[in-house]
Amino acid sequence: MLMLKEHFRANDMGHLVVGKLDAVDLAKTFGTPLYVMDEQRIREKYRNFHRAFSSLWRNLLVCYALKANSNLAIVKILQNEGSGADVSSENELRIALGAGISGKRIVFNGNYKTRRELELAIANDVLINVDNFQELEAVDRIASHMDKRARVGFRVNPDVRAPTHPYIATGLRESKFGFDVASGQALKAYERAAKMKDVEVVGIHAHIGSQILDAAPYEEEAEKLMALVAEVKEKLDISISHVDLGGGIGIPYKPGEKELQPEMVAERVVSVVRRFVKEHGLEEPVLVFEPGRYLVADAGILLARVGYIKERLGMPTWISVDAGMNALIRPALYGAYHHIELANKLDQKNDVVVNVAGPLCESGDFLGKGRKLPRAEQGDLAVIFDVGAYGIVMSSQHTAQPRPAMVLVNGDKAEIIRRRETFEDLTRLDRVPGWLE
């Protein structure tokens, strides 16, 4: 079945069009495998997301989750739209600061933050979402050495079950993240922080998982976070000013999957927050969200050249393309579905059942199985959709494959935003000890 999202179309040659450019020409100009990102689509998604919440709530901070795609140009587009950043490593923090996002609009998450990372965060007034008691002690100690006050929130584990892949469900009680709410551990964290001289308690944070297509878990999350905000106010007289619900809004990857409109999440979350503010006399908090996938996933495609076609009697035909799990690991890692078409044959019937394989020596190296495509020939151009998030950032050099290039399209303009790796890039860090020479 031909499935094109609203921001793509086919031209009269049956070729895929990205922005105003023919994907076949892009592949010819820049080579394959090639990631292509559509700037206008990212801007549109950011505006949708922002509007959905800002139309219901005044104090809003949208922090783009750099882990989805930390390319400098992509981060710059989002900075340009007014986004803050959610970072989870020193380098993501440096990228966000370098793009011109002020530290005050950055949140730092993760369950293992190094001393260097904490120093850089504290120096830039980044909001650190502390994950455990030892980290809290470290933050206080480092801030005191630096003669600064650290802005902190606590990552709490609200035990919300979000319907998604187990690897990306992060809000369950057994998960590695955050302070447990049910046992009172989270409240204790606020109590301890309140006694610390160099820690300013600012926020509460949770992230219940990724690729969520249902608004209900967000409502449950908001209930649990706001109940804790009220308890912290009542028992410790601490006003939590930043309520951070994390990211996780999914996108439809498969034909028939329904989009989760941010408006649906906004309505449910904001009504919970309003009720708590009113019933407990709380100050109106800044609502923080950390969308990654929602903003960039469907702006990205991967173009891969069809090399070889192998027929198997009574079984799907194997099509080998020049991008595999090295370029896009999600199908191999999570069994994730990415829609595939032939970008140069959108006007033909998809009537051959195929498996699409990458070039690596692993049976797990496939991009899709049991798909229907037009009859493929050598030199055709496969397009893998929805790869703008968790695509290039999770790519590898397995079998010494260079990572693909990435191009940004804006209307009729296209420019490289990450050049293709070369043999020199692949071997640059290796050393042969003298005794082997």
361 has catalytic annotation: yes
Q: Which is nearer to ligand PLP, 46 or 366 (CB)?
A: 46
Q: Which is nearer to ligand PLP, 22 or 90 (CB)?
A: 90
Q: Which two tokens stand for residue 207?
A: 């992230």
Which of 40-48, 188-196, 292-300, 371-379 is the region at the interface with ligand PLP (rule: CB under 6 A)?
Answer: 292-300
Question: Least distance (Å) from ligand PLP to the CB of residue 52?
Answer: 14
Nearest CA among 211, 188, 279 for reference residue 68: 211
Question: Residue 231: which residues within 8 A CB-CB, separation 6 or more?
Answer: 187
Question: Least distance (Å) from ligand PLP to the CB of residue 237?
Answer: 28
Q: Which two tokens stand for residue 330?
A: 């999600």
- The sign of the dihedral angle between the CA atoms of 139, 393, 205, 94 is positive
Which helix H or strand E contains 22, and what residues bound it? Answer: strand 21-22
Residues 49-68 that bind ligand PLP (CB under 6 A): 65, 67-68
Residue 167 φ/ψ, nearest 5 degrees? -70, -25
State which of residues 103, 178, 246, 285 lies at the interface with ligand PLP (CB under 6 A). Answer: 246
Q: Which two tokens stand for residue 29?
A: 């100009």
CA distance linking residue 324 with residue 355, whole number of Å:
12
Question: Least distance (Å) from ligand PLP to the CB of residue 107?
Answer: 8
- The answer to whether residue 153 forms part of the interface with ligand PLP (CB under 6 A) is no
The answer for 184, left when phi > 0, alpha when psi is -120 to 50, beta otherwise, is left
Count CB neighbours of 225 within 10 A.
Answer: 28
Total number of residues binding ligand PLP (CB under 6 A)? 18
Amino acid at 203: G
Catalytic member of 1, 313, 361, 436 = 361
Q: Which is nearer to ligand PLP, 22 or 259 (CB)?
A: 259
- The answer to whether residue 292 forms part of the interface with ligand PLP (CB under 6 A) is yes
Site map (CB under 6 A) of ligand PLP, residues 97-116, x = contact: ------------x-------
Query: Side by side, which strands form the sheet with 16-18?
Result: 8-10, 16-18, 21-22
State which of residues 15, 224, 293, 403 lies at the interface with ligand PLP (CB under 6 A). Answer: 293
Which residues sit at the interface with ligand PLP, rule CB under 6 A? 65, 67-68, 86, 109, 170, 207, 210, 246-249, 290-294, 389
Task: Cite the active site residues.
Answer: 361
